[in-house]
Amino acid sequence: MEFGNYLFQAKKVAGFDFDVYRLKPETGRRGTPQDDMWNNIAVFGDNVSGRAHPEWVSESKRGRAVRGNNQFNLHWDVLCPTVPEFREEQLNYIENAVDQTGQPIFLNSWHFADHGHCTCERCTKLWKESGLDWFEWRNQTITQFIKDVKERVKTKLVLAVLPDPANADQRFGMDFPELYKICDAFNIVMFSQNYATSWYWEMIARAFRRIFPEKPVYSNIYVCGPGDDPAHCPPVDQLIRVSVRVMRTGIDGIIYLADVADNMIKFQKTVTQMGEYRDSLSDYGGQPALDLFNRWDKLF
């Protein structure tokens, strides 16, 4: 079992087994690779590159993959994954982050934007030339990118998967059986501003445990994000409960996201003040999460 601290700030936090830095989040802004944290890179979700090269943005019959296109759930602009120069630049960027730090690489947004993407001229041509079925072409395009990453990354390669265990192949070009062969660990992006109904989160964690049976599977849990109104962040009792519920599915850990270290520490402190609530979950079968919280009791 391993539990991670995942921040938009290059700061480690006590009480976790590892720390992750959002080196290049989907805003596209690039930080400094950290040599004592995992480095997390959003590849094709990249607002800065989308602004600089609007012709690189992924296209579909339902419009481009940009914020404001409400046909899709886009919180950032997503580039077409077959732009040769961007693809190469990102492979170099990923490789450099590993060479400079020797740390694991954790990728987000390494896939197609969503269903129906990408219908740009280049993708349409590549698909037709391949002679493959549309979905198969998309899967192979993405799998090849991850293979290319793996060739350059000698450290642990961790892949973030969106919380859709059933349709991710047709939506995003995620071929789980192939990716399972290539990558070292998986992280389910289970972000939400509340976790009122743990049932769904538990179900998703259980599904990914089954899809990736032997390699480590982590679940993301959302404490708070940049610019969040604290009133709209998940209540701490929900965070405690969902942690226990996902850990009883047999996954290997949780990676908690906050904007900055101070807010992660605030979350940990609040957890230590909720001993009675934690005790009420003692027979839920999610002991590894309760053990983590017990470790935090010693910090404050």
Residues of the shown chain interacting with Zn ion in the complex, contacts defined by CB under 5 A: 80, 118, 120, 123
Residue 54 CB, nearest distance to Zn ion (Å)?
Answer: 13
Q: Which is nearer to Zn ion, 120 or 240 (CB)?
A: 120
Which DSSP string do the residues of 15-48 spell out, in sequence order? T-SEEEEEEE-TT-------SSSEEEEE-SB-HH
Q: Residue 75, SS3?
A: coil
Which DSSP string do the residues of 155-209 spell out, in sequence order? S-EEEEE-S-TTTHHHHH---HHHHHHH-SEEEE----S--S-HHHHHHHHHHHH
Task: Tell me the backbone φ, ψ of residue 96, rounded to 5 degrees.
Answer: -65, -40
Q: Which is nearer to Zn ion, 126 or 211 (CB)?
A: 126
Q: Which is nearer to Zn ion, 128 or 181 (CB)?
A: 128
Residue 119 CB, nearest distance to Zn ion (Å)?
Answer: 7
Q: Which is nearer to Zn ion, 56 or 186 (CB)?
A: 56
Q: Which is nearer to Zn ion, 98 or 174 (CB)?
A: 174
Residue 91 CB, nearest distance to Zn ion (Å)?
Answer: 17
Residue 136 CB, nearest distance to Zn ion (Å)?
Answer: 16
Residue 126 CB, nearest distance to Zn ion (Å)?
Answer: 8
Structure tokens at 152: 């350059």
CA-to-CA distance for 60 and 258, rounded, in angstroms?
Answer: 33
**Inter-axis angle of helices 236-247 and 198-211, nearest 10:** 30
Residue 123 CB, nearest distance to Zn ion (Å)?
Answer: 3
Beta-strand relationship, 38-42 and 105-108: parallel
Q: Which is nearer to Zn ion, 84 or 131 (CB)?
A: 84
**Cβ-contact 218, 253 below 8 angstroms:** yes
Q: Which of 290, 214, 284, 294 is nearest to 254 (CA)?
A: 290
